[in-house]
Structure 1
């Protein structure tokens, strides 16, 4: 059979599951579950995978699932990953299949990810005779909540013996059909910090009798905002954002403490190591100078997702061959975080973004917004992407 004939066959198989994929996506959207609570979602996925011919299925953790498809001939092992969890957001889309779970919403496209990978699993299960090696389908829990589900699945051994892993994320800010691919870093390392400043409270009319933690906190925030411009080379991308400042209970009371929290995004491992040192040194100096004390907590979050060059070239070539060069965009890394990094640290990986928004970008709502939605025409493209890249990877000499 020629390459063109195989492409035609695959297109027909993908087209045959298109309506199911949309149905599955709407089911997941209507029944979202938070991180580490994806019990019904994982059960639904488990049962669907069992219905596919020649698919081995296992419950990796209480809320994650792995499907395993062993080809007719020996060869490489590839992992395909989708995340399944939703966010604590009250939906405002007005969709007929809007969330039935109050204050829980699929506001990041994970419903689409799960549906697309299910569609790919169904198609690939019908192509067992075309497969050399093995495909593992990772339906991952808890991408949105650190420490994340990917690292738990890796600890359970799902990546043992694997030769590569491929991921995909729908993106509402990118027009339908555009695949954005990076060589090297894709997402930033995402860390967090919390600082408590302990002062001495008192009456607002007598600040001289207090150790004002608000005044110290303001100085600290201003100092934090200068770290990047004074400590980090301007050519290196890094961000520290203070996102929380809590303190006080009344207009005439100086509180005895305030808490400050924020996020840190980096690509360079050395800068990532230095930032908590700089933050605590600044906090220590300001509190000591003002007769206050502090508590400092720094949490290392997801590592940067880094696309490995060889598998990225293969994925890049496959996208161009399947969807056309005009639909492949070489892009820069984004400052967002992604726990796909746990998979791509365990095996050579490639993670791409697939456009799922209108051409009129001003009409698209961002991820984690109450009105976020994806255009369902993108789902069939995601199924095709998974199927084509899997077959190309496994059948490549």
Structure 2
């Protein structure tokens, strides 16, 4: 591991430079034209078999060692978010209203560095490696599924990925067995009534009252339908309608999200939602239209591959702590890869309050302790270098 430690130290300043360059030049999901070109330029001289524009803006780079070897894929995402960067740092985003507020710039810098180390050590490898640089993780339908359909996982036996996290201190690897992320779905319900004067509600069919009742009844789904030993979230986060204090509108719109782990729970939630909507239509004489968007599936880690990650880091230099944590109700399209091949997804800690780095993801002051990049690269390299056909 000392050899890898030296490799990481030698490449650390360049890795920080890459991360900061991408932080200064963020691009939104499905619009990552300059970022994908930058990534290509950083790996084009490593002797990899590189495919560009995979499933859109994705890049697939293969390090082929032996046809008889298994193949491991490592993934990083590289899109940014529509958030104004409010940090006072030299590498602050130069693009108004857009920033890397989730750490995807760090993921990409770590994977490029990992590719450089492993390409230089190809004679030591007992496994082929595929480096997946994925676009559009932040916006549905995401980039993972399109990349898979375009052959990103062809010939891949296992896949691994990591996400930097401001929840955990630098030097910490956090993991979750079994389900790590929930299925993240979205819904829009349009309630159609008949508008009228606010002083004469009896002459109208009020969609506001119907919508308010609908929101209340949706809250009964989790408390009265879902097994209390299982998890689900039904959140109505938007209620739009009306234009004047004394006018009953023709319609209102409700938007929200549903989060579940198990398909059977998701089916129960949808069944109850449909029943509640029909009841509202009957009770209030309105018409409801449900637009349901199935988001990323639940992310289910393969515990055997997770054990391999932990075992490979027993003598780590930068990963000082490994700790198990509960699942998140957030969504992550890495789940699509895990539906196809076994693997796992884990967190790399980048929190450091002493440096003022403790803001949550998707916050305008989000930043990372760049020392945490070392642990991320160490994890990815160790997964490959310590691989055996397990």
TM-score range, shorter chain: over 0.9
Query: Which residue does the alignment assign to 2:303?
Result: 309
> By percentage of residues, which structure has more helix?
1
Contact residue 55 and residue 149 of structure 2 kept, 8 A: no
1:64 correspondence with 2:52: no
1:40 correspondence with 2:31: no
- Structure 1 position 14, deviation (Å): 1.3
Residue of structure 2 aligned with 1:298, choices 265, 289, 292: 292
1:16-165 alignment, distance < 5 Å? 16-52=10-46, 54-59=47-52, 60-71=54-65, 74-165=68-159
- Structure 1 position 197, deviation (Å): 0.2
Query: Which residue does the alignment assign to 1:184?
Result: 178
- Structure 1 position 396, deviation (Å): 4.7
In 2 relative to 1, CA 372–110 (structure 1 residues): closer, same or farther, beyond 3 Å? Answer: same
Determine the C-alpha separation between the residues in 2 that align with 1:258 and 1:224: 16
- Structure 1 position 350, deviation (Å): 0.8
Determine the C-alpha separation between the residues in 2 that align with 1:292 and 1:282: 13
1:320 correspondence with 2:314: yes
Residue of structure 2 aligned with 1:210, choices 187, 204, 217: 204
- Structure 1 position 323, deviation (Å): 5.0
Structure 1 SS opposite 2:294: strand
Note the residue ranges of structure 1 that are not aligned, 5 or more in a row.
1-6
Cα displacement string for residues 232-282 of structure 1 (whole angstroms, at most 9, x for unaligned residues): 111111111111110000111111100001011111110112222211210
Query: Which residue does the alignment assign to 1:3?
Result: none
Determine the C-alpha separation between the residues in 1 that align with 2:315 and 2:263: 35
Query: Which residue does the alignment assign to 2:270?
Result: 276
- Structure 1 position 62, deviation (Å): 3.7
Query: Which residue does the alignment assign to 2:338?
Result: 344
The more displaced of 324-333 and 237-246 is: 324-333
Determine the C-alpha separation between the residues in 1 that align with 2:353 and 2:91: 24
Contact residue 81 and residue 98 of structure 2 kept, 8 A: yes
Cα displacement string for residues 154-189 of structure 1 (whole angstroms, at most 9, x for unaligned residues): 101111221100000001121111111111111011
Contact residue 25 and residue 111 of structure 1 kept, 8 A: yes
Determine the C-alpha separation between the residues in 2 that align with 1:292 and 1:33: 42
Determine the C-alpha separation between the residues in 2 that align with 1:159 and 1:9: 30
Query: Which residue does the alignment assign to 1:194?
Result: 188
Note the residue ranges of structure 2 that are not aligned, 5 or more in a row.
none
The TM-score, its normalising length taken from structure 1, stands at 0.95
Determine the C-alpha separation between the residues in 2 that align with 1:72 and 1:224: 55
